[in-house]
């Protein structure tokens, strides 16, 4: 049996809310049977960096997340900004701003859509090798961050025991662990 389902036709797009980090988009589309509304967040692409120090420890950021009212265990990263030429430049900038470290080598790993039923963003994952402290951190005004290092094995165990629950961090660590010969 052939699949004759076609994508719906976009009839109208409105932006009921526009903020600094995202817009809420509402689209009216005509599907196979009737018109319906779809809402999603329109936001810039982002990066996440698994950053290794020369002694093979991973830089970890504990960052206050107002949306969940707690510190979150994660990896350096954030949204691309207008001045970023590409995701790699954003990854280097976020690493430097959040941790005060710079990498000898930055390697793109993979890109994922974290929740494409509600977001139109892509998160680009990078490996940073040979990370050395180069000065002071320069976090954004809304970032409350503590920096530490951990062995990769500890972080993988923390995913499995539920200590690390941030999706982009878990995906980055597990993807790295399953793809690279560590």
pLDDT tens, residue by residue, 120-129: 999 999 999 9
Is there a contact between 47 and 126 (Cβ–Cβ < 8 Å)? yes
* Stretch among 28-32, 145-149, 157-161, 176-180 having the lowest mean pLDDT: 28-32
Domain residue spans in the chain? 9-42, 46-179
Mean pLDDT (whole number) for 13-28: 93
**What pLDDT sits at residue 141?**
65
State the Cα angle at 32 between 28 and 35, rounded to 5°. Answer: 25
**What pLDDT sits at residue 16?**
95
**CATH number given to 46-179:** 3.90.79.10
The predicted model scores a pTM of 0.88
Give me 140's structure tokens: 């954004």
**What pLDDT sits at residue 21?**
87
């Amino acid at each position: 049996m052939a699949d004759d389902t076609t994508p719906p036709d976009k009839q109208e797009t409105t932006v009921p809310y526009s903020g600094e980090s995202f817009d809420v988009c509402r689209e009216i589309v005509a599907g196979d049977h009737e018109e319906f509304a779809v809402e999603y967040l329109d936001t810039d692409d982002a990066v996440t960096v698994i950053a290794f120090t020369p002694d093979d420890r991973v830089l970890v950021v504990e960052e206050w997340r107002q949306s969940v009212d707690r510190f979150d265990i994660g990896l350096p990263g954030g949204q691309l900004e207008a001045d970023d030429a590409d995701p790699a430049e954003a990854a280097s900038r976020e690493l430097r701003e959040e941790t005060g470290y710079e990498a000898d080598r930055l390697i793109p790993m993979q890109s994922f859509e974290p929740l494409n039923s509600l977001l139109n963003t892509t998160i680009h994952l990078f490996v940073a090798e040979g990370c050395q402290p180069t000065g002071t951190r320069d976090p954004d005004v809304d970032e409350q961050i503590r920096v530490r290092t951990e062995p990769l094995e500890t972080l993988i165990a923390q995913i499995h025991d539920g200590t690390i629950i941030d999706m982009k961090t878990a995906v980055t660590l597990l993807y790295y662990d399953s793809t690279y010969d560590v």
